[in-house]
Structure 1
Amino acid sequence: MRHLCFEPKRFPATYEPWISRDHRSIILLLLQSCSSKQQLAQIHARMIRTRLVQDTFAVSRIIALLTSPSALFSTVYARRVFDQIPHPNLFMWNSMIRGYTHHRAPRDALSTFKLLLACGGSSPDTYTYAATARACAQLNNLPTGSAVHGLVMKCGFDSDMFVTSGIISFYNGCGKVDVARQMFDEMPHKDVVSWTSMISGYLQLNQLDEGFRLFDEMRKVGVEPNKVTVMSLLSACGQSRALERGRRLHSRILEHGWESDLAVGNSVVSMYAKCGDTINAMDAFEKMPARNTATWNALMGGFVRSGHCREALSVFQEMTCSYTRPDEITMATALSACAQLGDLQQGKLVHAFIEEEDKMITCDVFLGNSLINMYAKSGDLAEAEAIFHKMLVRDVFSWTALISGYVQGNCYKKALSHFEEMRLSRVKANEVTLVSLLSACSQLGALDWGRRIHAYIEENEVRKDACLQNALVDMYAKCGCIDIALQIFHEMRCKDAHTWNAMIGGLAANGRGREAIGLFDQMHELRDVRPDGVTLMAVIGACGHSGLVKEGLAYFNLMARSYGIVPGVEHYGCLVDLLGRAGFIEEAIDLIEKMPMTANNLIWGSLLAACRIHGKMELAERAARNLMKLAPNDEGAHVLVSNVYAEARRWDDVGQVRSLMGCKGIAKSPGCSTIEVDGVVHEFVAGDRSIRQNEFACLVLDSLVLQTKLIAGGSCGYT
């Protein structure tokens, strides 16, 4: 049959005579050897002309080719062919459902399954239910998946190992690992796929101990793991930074001789890199007999995830000098490394590389978002916004990267205005977007905006994870609505250290120090979450605001003994502030002298403020000298020293400080305040009369100042 061979992109001129002899056999042979969509389209056209499209088997081969994970894959083309068939057979239905699951289109797969049930021409078999279960797993739709499970049991397929493995994957994907485990334990026969599905379920919920326990049990009963099992466990070790378990798993890989497999080797490299073990990551990388782009990406991505961003950029430089071509994932990883480092110069070089290689690297939405994120986190918000506006398509990650950048750059009003634009663009915000926006509200004290965002969360049924709930607690606490913050706090089922810290700190800042201390005691008694350094800072600060000196000292002394926390300079700073507020200035000085580290400018500034309050001018001068020495160019330090001298009416010293500021080119920043009215945040800067809306406010303020002066002087009876 050598005369049947043809060139990849066109049929030979001798095609017509073949059809007249036995066109069905020839078409089937051509379908068997088809390797491109152009060839398939030509074969399909010939089938239409010769009415072979009425042949069920021949048409089913076209659908199978279009729905298989190959170069011919096209569910759109397959659906057009499928819809023209008056009575599809079960093989065609299964091909369509399977194709949609391969294409990660679970809704289309489920709608096709429902259409199959409605038509009633064919009854689903094990392949149908297995593919449908995978679609339910992709969608994480518990009601639909449970209904499919019910049909499986009704039709008697629940004993089929292939179908049951799919149902187990579905329940695991929905987080119902207990239901999945019950089904798994009841299976009469389990293959490696069943075991791997169950192990993956535990790993998805970060239950690493149970996953490895099942892995050991699997080997004891004589079922050998496959590459998917091992790669799932390696990935979990990397995510959880379980280095020792990862090393033991690597030893087993070496025993089985799997290290030469490229996918397994990439997983080993990624695991070591994510665990921060740069030596073993590079060693495994160097020993790989072959490398591809995914290998380099695994090493770079692991280094970025473990915080070794400089190493990741070094790997990127080495890759650009090798014969391996970087792809979009490579570039996004390199940009992420630059973003974490805040290295704008290196980020611009990576951006330039992308533009130079534009024929090989597609700057799609994914890469565009990475560029926005890099420029935003590196402080170049103008360039971040320029890239944002150049993008033809913007998704939630585009908006989030820009909004988060403005929040990190302290441009809170700009972040909120972009959220308004985002809503008008009908792009739904996610948890990360909303956490950033709530942080902006916290910093501005914009309660109306915070309430509006909270309402948006409820109306759009946004999943309230721990980070988002913590942000709500923090926002309400910082905006003075401490009771609402407490309500959200008490309604939370899972509280982490950030939750407790936000609530304890919020109570302290709102003058409810004793309640903050009580909450800390409750945290200690529950033992669900271990206090960290931030918790102790919050509780010592609460003691300081409440004048509870003995209690604050006791908590400080408990840090190392009860919680294993070595006090840092920030904790000593809280203690100095505690003593200073209570008037124990000499004790605060003594503490500073006995600290295991050198006091910073914040500690001396705190002491100086305490000396000013309690009139300790001699000690204030000592604190001022140390403060000026540590912060010679800090505006706030100079202003604080000047105010202390002014408080003591030592005007010559005030003049010297002001003169020193002039010589150093240090100018006092004008005072600035914000107020929110009807959801609009207004900003007022001292001395600024350039905004028309401020004119009336300024007239009122001038009038109030004049009345105050007259009343103080006793020359007028204004009330």
Structure 2
Amino acid sequence: MIISRRTSKTLLPHLNQLLRPIHSLPNPNPILSDYYNAYLSLLQSFVSRKAIGPGKQLHARLLLSNLGFDTVLATKLVNLYSDCNHLPYAQNLFDRIPKRNVFLWNILIRGYAWNGPFESAISLYHQMLEHGLLPDNFTFPFVLKACSALSDIDNGREIHKLAVLTRWELDVFVAAGLIDMYSKCSSVEDARRLFDRMSKRDVVLWNSMIAAYSLNGHPSEALSLFRNMALEGLKPSVATLVTVISASADAAALPRGREIHGFSWRMGFSSADKVKTALLDMYAKCGWVRLARVLFEQLLEKRVVSWNAMISGYAMHGHADEALTLFEKMRKEAILLPDNITFVGVLSACSHAGLLLEGRRFFDSMLHDFSIKPTVQHYTCMIDLLGHAGRLEEANQLISKMPMKPDSGVWGALLNGCKIHGDVELGEKALRKLIELEPDDAGNYVILSNIYCQARNWEEAARIRKRMTERGLKKAIACSWIEIRNKHHAFLVGDLSHPQSKEIYGELERLEGLMQQAGYVPDTMPVFHNVSDDEKRNMVRSHSERLAIAFGLISTPPDTVLMVKKNIRVCEDCHIAIKFISQIVNREIIIRDVNRYHHFKGGHCSCHDYW
């Protein structure tokens, strides 16, 4: 049996003798087997403390004592090596143990599932079956975790079949592993079918299904499932709240997020820093960056993930000064080392504000001062920054030096820079690369078409549009949303379907007259040259965000801040127009487009016309 602490103290002098450096130990002596229980106790202590050094020393002692391959002692050693990510040692010992039970196989499978290589976990699982051993409710979650990491749905389905045959499928831990595997393999329908079959569903299972919806871009379903969970009387965990709050942020569903905020406080989670961090991230993504900062300052312990969320929040809103100040505070006052996510936020802040010198300095510092290798996200930020600044050839050179293959984000950033500065030749190169990576994305063709329009090369613009038609590609339909009294109102370009369309267009006409008096001139350059001037003005006048703003103006009191969300980038003309509108109506108007937030107030935008 395992010895108690008191017994351990009485044996300590003897154990110290046993654990002296190996070269000074006496020759093996069978009497050492009398210390078998003491060895067990020590090994258990080493496992709990992950004391790999003393563990190796005791392993050597056991080998000299002819106890090195005893199943119980060796199993604890495999556990120690596995937990400490010394998997070659664990594998070597495992292979030499004559009697291997399911528990021992589970330990090594778990080690590979946690630390990789994940293929080894799956291979061990199949070897286990070949040895005539059936997996249990620990084996399945471990090997499914490896399938999740590899997005290996084929092996995952085969494992699921055996789980059904062995009747482990309906075990909550196995079911949670299966749901996670299907989720990571983008098969959320399979995950939901399994979830619905479960007669007993605990918090872990609900969390897995909510996370599956959130991970696969179904935030509304995640929020709906959370409501069902609450209706069934289950108290959420911190993990539940963090997941569902993140889903609120993804949906930009501020009212839902505020409801969950209040609910979590009523349920006693007001002091949970992980919940507060999720909330501050949600508020920042939903436009309430000031409230996010309040929650940030209330954190009892500010972890790196909390600093990252706040820095990224400031970057998204174009508050570069605040983001960089917070970064310096993180380094000097909190004495925390930034990670690669921190630098994504910092470089995004520089990119959104046009801080070229600062961006270059942080990009170099990341590697030289913090030994963080730039990822494709960091390169995307730098290409975007250089492209906005007109350093297109420098951006092109940086792409050629990337240690990894540039993805669509990198080439998209370069293409956007070419659009800003009218570089046709480099824009054509960027589009060719994007077509290789995203052959069905019509947006890339549209950007190059606009570049040709800016250069008044109408023939090439028409050719690009024709090519889109031949490939069956259609430009994404621009859509904007505004929430008034807890109800969402969606608008498309030229939309006439809203019940108050007459009043909306009347408000737009009123505003346009006042805007023209203030000096507004419509920018219709991206519109085809064979369209009349009146038609061009009507087309830009009825863009979806303007319809949403007009509806907000006629539906809310004069001091109300308007929040509009748009599924694509705000066009240049609408950006100019909204600045005029914000000054005329003396309102703050917030637009969240696909890239960032724009805060319009008093005729100015928080982006300083740099986006």
Amino acid across the alignment from 2:254: L
Offset of 1:508 from its aligned partner?
A: 1.5
Offset of 1:563 from its aligned partner?
A: 1.2
* Structure with greater proportional helix content: 1
Q: Which of 289, 299, 318 matches 2:108?
A: 299
Correspondences of 1:46-195 after superposition (within 5 Å): 190-192=6-8
Offset of 1:595 from its aligned partner?
A: 4.8
Q: Would you say the 8 A contact 2:169–2:175 is kept in 1? A: no
Amino acid across the alignment from 1:310: E
Percent sequence identity is 33
Q: Which residue of 1 aligns with 2:231?
A: 424
Deviations 1:509-529 (A, max 9, x none): 112111111111112213632
Q: Which residue of 1 aligns with 2:560?
A: none
Amino acid across the alignment from 1:608: L
Offset of 1:334 from its aligned partner?
A: 2.5
Correspondences of 1:15-414 after superposition (within 5 Å): 190-192=6-8, 225-237=38-50, 247-248=56-57, 250-255=59-64, 258-358=67-167, 361=168, 363-414=170-221
Q: Would you say the 8 A contact 1:476–1:482 is kept in 2? A: yes
Offset of 1:596 from its aligned partner?
A: 5.3
Deviations 1:569-589 (A, max 9, x none): 432322222222233334434
Tell me the distance in 2 between the aligned counterparts of 1:281 and 1:687: 66
Tell me the distance in 2 between the aligned counterparts of 1:261 and 1:418: 49
Q: Would you say the 8 A contact 1:407–1:415 is kept in 2? A: yes
Q: Would you say the 8 A contact 2:443–2:476 is kept in 1? A: no
Tell me the distance in 2 between the aligned counterparts of 1:218 and 1:496: 42
Q: Would you say the 8 A contact 2:78–2:94 is kept in 1? A: yes
Q: TM-score, normalised by structure 1?
A: 0.62
Q: Secondary structure at the match of 2:138?
A: helix
Offset of 1:475 from its aligned partner?
A: 1.0
Amino acid across the alignment from 1:642: S
Amino acid across the alignment from 1:191: T
Q: Which residue of 2 aligns with 1:461?
A: 268
Q: Secondary structure at the match of 2:369?
A: helix
Offset of 1:286 from its aligned partner?
A: 1.5
Q: TM-score, normalised by structure 2?
A: 0.73
Tell me the distance in 2 between the aligned counterparts of 1:681 and 1:230: 61
Name whichever of 395-404 and 557-566 sits farther off: 557-566
Q: Would you say the 8 A contact 1:406–1:415 is kept in 2? A: yes
Q: Would you say the 8 A contact 2:19–2:54 is kept in 1? A: no
Q: Would you say the 8 A contact 2:87–2:111 is kept in 1? A: no
Q: Secondary structure at the match of 2:211?
A: helix
Q: Which of 485, 488, 512 matches 2:295?
A: 488
Q: Which residue of 1 aligns with 2:546?
A: none
Q: Which of 212, 235, 259 matches 1:452?
A: 259
Offset of 1:590 from its aligned partner?
A: 4.4
Q: Would you say the 8 A contact 1:497–1:531 is kept in 2? A: yes
Q: Would you say the 8 A contact 1:580–1:611 is kept in 2? A: yes
Q: Would you say the 8 A contact 1:304–1:337 is kept in 2? A: yes
Q: Which residue of 1 aligns with 2:249?
A: 442
Deviations 1:5-49 (A, max 9, x none): xxxxxxxxxxxxxxxxxxxxxxxxxxxxxxxxxxxxxxxxxxxxx
Q: Which has the higher contact order (CA 8 A, sep 6+)?
A: 2
Q: Secondary structure at the match of 2:186?
A: coil
Q: Would you say the 8 A contact 1:396–1:430 is kept in 2? A: yes
- Distance 1:609-1:344 versus aligned 2 partners, 3 A rule: same
Deviations 1:172-195 (A, max 9, x none): xxxxxxxxxxxxxxxxxx431799
Name whichever of 589-598 and 322-331 sits farther off: 589-598
Q: Which residue of 1 aligns with 2:588?
A: none
Q: Would you say the 8 A contact 1:560–1:566 is kept in 2? A: yes
Amino acid across the alignment from 1:448: P
Amino acid across the alignment from 2:499: F
Tell me the distance in 2 between the aligned counterparts of 1:195 and 1:491: 49
Q: Which of 463, 485, 496 matches 1:656?
A: 463
Higher gyration radius (CA): 1
Q: Which residue of 2 aligns with 1:135?
A: none
Offset of 1:695 from its aligned partner?
A: 4.0
Q: Which residue of 2 aligns with 1:78?
A: none
Offset of 1:673 from its aligned partner?
A: 4.2
Q: Which consecutive residues of structure 2, in runs of 5 or more, have no partner in the other structure?
A: 21-34, 517-521, 523-532, 539-549, 551-583, 585-611
- Distance 1:709-1:489 versus aligned 2 partners, 3 A rule: closer
Amino acid across the alignment from 1:319: M
Q: Would you say the 8 A contact 2:43–2:55 is kept in 1? A: no
Q: Which residue of 2 aligns with 1:614?
A: 421
Offset of 1:698 from its aligned partner?
A: 5.9
Offset of 1:709 from its aligned partner?
A: 8.8
Amino acid across the alignment from 2:41: V
- Distance 1:594-1:385 versus aligned 2 partners, 3 A rule: closer
Q: Would you say the 8 A contact 2:445–2:468 is kept in 1? A: yes
- Superposed CA RMSD: 3.7
Q: Which residue of 2 aligns with 1:519?
A: 326
Q: Which consecutive residues of structure 1, in runs of 5 or more, have no partner in the other structure?
A: 1-68, 70-160, 166-189, 197-214
The count of aligned residue pairs is: 503
Deviations 1:614-649 (A, max 9, x none): 334454344444444554443432233233334444
